[in-house]
Amino acid sequence: MDGPGTAELIAPEIQRRSETTTSSLPGMEPYGRYLNVVDVEATCWAGKRPPDQVSEIIEIGLTVVDLHERVRVGKHQIIVRPQRSTVSEFCTELTGWTQEQVDIGVTFAEACEQLRTEHYADSRAWASWGDYDRKQFQRQCEATAVRYPFGATHTNAKWQFAMAQGWPKGVGMHRALEVAQLPLEGRHHCGADDAWNIAALVLELAMRGTWTEAG
C-alpha cells in the first residue's frame, strides 16, 4: 500500500486502472525486469517566476512497467507540499492542482524516501519523457539537501522514441501517442496519467524491439 500523502489522494479511476500494486511484487525482483516511469508536475507561472519563489515538485506520477511481460503493473501518485513556492492560477489551470490540495501532501524529503522504500527507486531503472524530471529532482535535492532518490540508470524515453522513428529530435508525449496510434488516457499534465501514458509508449518501443536502457 502507498504511504501517507499517496493512497488517500489517488482518484478512483487511478485505482481502477491499476492491475496490481508495487507491494505485490517480490522483494528480490529479477534485475532489469521492472521499470519505473516517472512524470512530475511542479509549481509554475504564466510569466516570469516571482523573485521570492522557486519551482518545486507538487506531484510525482509513477507507473511500474514489467518489461518481461510487457504490461503496466502499477499506477501511483504522490502529492508533494511545496515549501518555497505557492500554486499559481496558471499552475492550477495547467495541472489541475490547487494550493489547498497540495497543502495536505507530504514533504519533498518524505516523497523521496517513499520512492526509495516503496518503489525501489534507488535500485530500479527509471525513465521519463525528456530530461526535465531528472534535472528537477537533482536541482531540488541539491537545494534542500535531500538525498537523491534514484539510481544511475535513467532513460530519456522521448529521445528513444525519436530514434525509433528516425527523427532528429523528440516530440511531446501527446504527439508521440498520436504517432503510435495510442489513446491519451486521463488528463494531460496530471503526473499520474502522464506516467501511465508514457509507460504505454515505452511498451510500444519494447514490443518493437527498439527500447534500450541508458545509464
Mean pLDDT of all residues in 186-212: 97
Consecutive H or E run containing 82 = none
- pLDDT band, very low/low/confident/very high, at 10 (cuts 50, 70, 90): very low
Residue 215 lies in a domain: no
| Structural domain includes residue 129 | yes
User: How far are the Cα atoms of 55, 56, 78, 184, 189 from residue 41, in angstroms, in the given order?
Assistant: 10, 8, 11, 17, 7
Answer for the pair 134, 185: CB distance below 8 angstroms, yes or no.
no
List the one residue out of 30, 25, 37, 39 whose CA is nearest residue 64: 37
- 150 phi and psi angles, rounded to 5 deg: -100, 160
User: Is 90 a residue whose pLDDT tops 90?
Assistant: yes
Q: Tell which phi-psi region holds residue 32, choosing left (phi > 0), alpha (psi between -120 and 50) or beta.
A: left
- Name residue 38's beta-bridge partners: 62
The answer to the question of residue 87 being in a domain is yes
What is the rounded CA–CA span in Å between residue 188 and residue 8? 21
**Average pLDDT in the 28-42 region?**
88
Whether 105 has a pLDDT exceeding 60, the answer reads yes
What is the pLDDT, as a whole number, of residue 28? Answer: 56
Q: Are 189 and 57 in contact (CB under 8 A)?
A: no
As given in the structure block, the three cell numbers for residue 51 are 523573485
Asked, for residue 136, whether it belongs to a domain, the answer is yes
- Each as own residue / partner, the long-range contacts of residues 6-15 (CB below 8 Å, 24 or more positions apart, any chain) are 6/76, 6/77, 6/78, 6/79, 6/106, 6/114, 9/77, 9/79, 9/101, 9/104, 9/105, 10/76, 10/77, 10/192, 13/186, 14/75, 14/77, 14/186, 14/192, 14/193
Q: The whole model's pTM is what? A: 0.87
> What's the grid cell of residue 159?
529521445
Which stretch of 16-30, 40-54, 133-147 has the lowest confidence by average pLDDT?
16-30
Structurally, how many domains does the chain consist of? 1
In a domain, 2, yes or no: no
The reply to whether 47 falls in a domain is: yes
Residue 7 pLDDT: 34
Q: Which domain holds residue 135?
A: 7-22+32-208
Query: 213 pLDDT band (50/70/90 cuts)?
Result: confident
Residue 214 lies in a domain: no
pLDDT of residue 20: 35
CATH classification at residue 96: 3.30.420.10
Identify which has the larger pLDDT, 62 or 22: 62
Question: What is the pLDDT, as a whole number, of residue 30?
Answer: 67
Q: What is the mean pLDDT of residues 12-18?
A: 34
Predicted confidence (pLDDT) at residue 1 exceeds the cutoff of 50: no
